[in-house]
Amino acid sequence: MRLALVLLMACALARATTAISRAEDFYRGKTINFVVGFGAGAGMDTTARTIARHLPRFIPGAPNVLVQQMEGAAGLIAANYISHRVAPDGLTIAAPGRSFFIEPMVGTASAQFDPVQLGYVGGTGAQNTILWASAASGARDYKGLLAAREPLALGALGTGTPGAIVAALLAESGARIRIVTGYTSAARLIIALAQGELQSVFLSEDSFATQREVIDNKIALPVLQSKPVIPGVQLIGDVLPAARRRTLDLAQAGESLGLIIITPPGLPRERLDVLRKAFMEMSGDAAYQADIAKFDRGRMPALSGGAVAAYIADLARTTSPAAIEDFNRLRH
């Protein structure tokens, strides 16, 4: 029995060593194209560029990683591109956004991909998304939001984005919010808030990566949060009626995973495993963690590609028609 176990372990080690050797031969001297679904300067772009700097150190053969911006449709342009226009060879990965995978589940016609069939390298981890109010608005907490004399102009990328849907849920529950859509990036939303064009935004803390002074100088104040990270700030789920929380869960599904790194469907498992292993090793690296901490202070531990794939498959299987109907009603 002991001899058999030793032989099995030796075979497993030999297979792993062979896989690493093949990956090293494949990636040495090559460049991985890293497609990012949002504009330069936003939090997701900053996170993606941090990953691009560190990930090559953990991929056998140390390939270059080149970031390519493919902004538009809240990540759907990038997701469609990698699903249909890219060879599944391990030389293109993507970070379309945080919630792009929800769109096919709720019947969005422009989402021309099956999220269950994509390859998942990993997720940067759950994060806290916050309803920020400008100091000039006078709203310091949720009670202040309910009592506002005039509805606060809350900026969003589009009516179908998670931020707009969460804002609509809050507005229907009594919050004094007026949703203003059409902004093209989180960076532009923050500028509008700082300049007084908007009085509120619904963004994660890392969205302020290159505009941290807006938080540090208390131009933006946290009024509600999705996770219990900031002491004394109420949870969004606690101020909504119980009947609306399934819709909230769907709208905030992307927060449970963080920024997701994907590959085209059909990438050979051996090559996907190499990328997954590199991602998790990078996520535990002190230099990477120090870089992330400069702009993102509220993120939970990174998730493996297998965990991300399982979460998305379960969400696709279990989301109820009623939640989808409510979700789609709020976005139009």
Per cent of the chain over pLDDT 90 is: 68
What's the rounded Cα separation, in Å, for the pair 60 and 269? 16
* Per-residue tokens: 138: 């006078």
Are 242 and 139 in a shared domain? Answer: yes
Kind and range of the H or E run holding 82: helix 76-84
Q: Which domain holds residue 176?
A: 129-251
Q: Can you give the pLDDT at residue 205? A: 79
Are 97 and 197 in a shared domain? Answer: no
Assess if residue 20 is contained within a domain: no
Bridge partners, residue 235, by sequence: 225
Assess if residue 10 is contained within a domain: no
What's the rounded Cα separation, in Å, for the pair 312 and 298? 22
- If pLDDT is split at 50, 70 and 90, which confidence band does 81 have? very high
Q: Is the pLDDT of residue 23 over 70?
A: no
Its sign, for the CA torsion 96, 211, 64, 12, is: negative
Are 119 and 42 in a shared domain? Answer: yes
Residue of 154, 323, 155, 172 whose CA lies nearest to 252: 323
Are 122 and 35 in a shared domain? Answer: yes
Q: Is the pLDDT of residue 12 over 50?
A: no
CATH code of residue 228? 3.40.190.10
What's the rounded Cα separation, in Å, for the pair 282 and 316? 29
Bridge partners, residue 94, by sequence: 35, 262
Q: Is the pLDDT of residue 296 over 80?
A: no
**Cα–Cα distances in Å, from 130 out to 178, 182, 204?**
17, 20, 6
Q: Is the pLDDT of residue 16 over 80?
A: no
Assess if residue 147 is contained within a domain: yes
* pLDDT tens, position by position, 164-223: 999 999 999 999 999 999 888 888 999 999 999 999 999 987 788 778 899 999 999 999
Neighbour tally for 184: CB within 10 Å: 14
Domain boundary among 213, 229, 251: 251
Burial class (CB in 10 A: 0-12, 13-18, 19+), 285: middle
**Cα–Cα distances in Å, from 8 out to 20, 233, 270?**
18, 53, 19
Assess if residue 189 is contained within a domain: yes
Rg value, the chain, Cα? 21
Domain boundary among 227, 251, 275: 251
Its sign, for the CA torsion 175, 176, 177, 178, is: positive
Q: Can you give the pLDDT at residue 160? A: 74
* Per-residue tokens: 137: 């608005």
CATH code of residue 73? 3.40.190.150
Q: Interior CA angle at 155 toward 49 and 188, to 5°?
A: 40
pLDDT mean across residues, the chain: 89
Give 95's DSSP letter: E
- If pLDDT is split at 50, 70 and 90, which confidence band does 11 have? very low
Phi-psi group of 258: left, alpha or beta (phi > 0 → left; psi -120 to 50 → alpha; rest → beta): left
Q: Can you give the pLDDT at residue 6? A: 47
Are 165 and 236 in a shared domain? Answer: yes
Assess if residue 232 is contained within a domain: yes
- If pLDDT is split at 50, 70 and 90, which confidence band does 294 have? confident
pLDDT higher at 162 or 13? 162
Give 233's DSSP letter: P
Assess if residue 245 is contained within a domain: yes
Q: Is the pLDDT of residue 4 over 70?
A: no
Q: Counting runs of H as helices and runs of E as strands, what totals does the chain give?
A: 14, 12
Q: Can you list the positions of beta strands (E) in 103-175?
A: 119-123, 129-134, 152-155
Burial class (CB in 10 A: 0-12, 13-18, 19+), 216: exposed
In this predicted structure, which of 54-63, 106-115, 156-165 has the lowest mean pLDDT?
156-165
* Per-residue tokens: 245: 């929380």
Assess if residue 74 is contained within a domain: yes
Residue count of the chain: 332
Domain boundary among 204, 231, 251: 251
Which single residue is written with the structure tokens 């058999």? Answer: 4
Q: How many domains is the chain built from?
A: 2
Contact 128, 298 (CB under 8 A): yes
Residue of 209, 180, 174 whose CA lies nearest to 193: 180
Most confident of the ranges 77-86, 153-162, 178-187, 297-306: 77-86
327 Cβ contact list (under 8 Å, min separation 6): 106, 165, 247, 250, 251
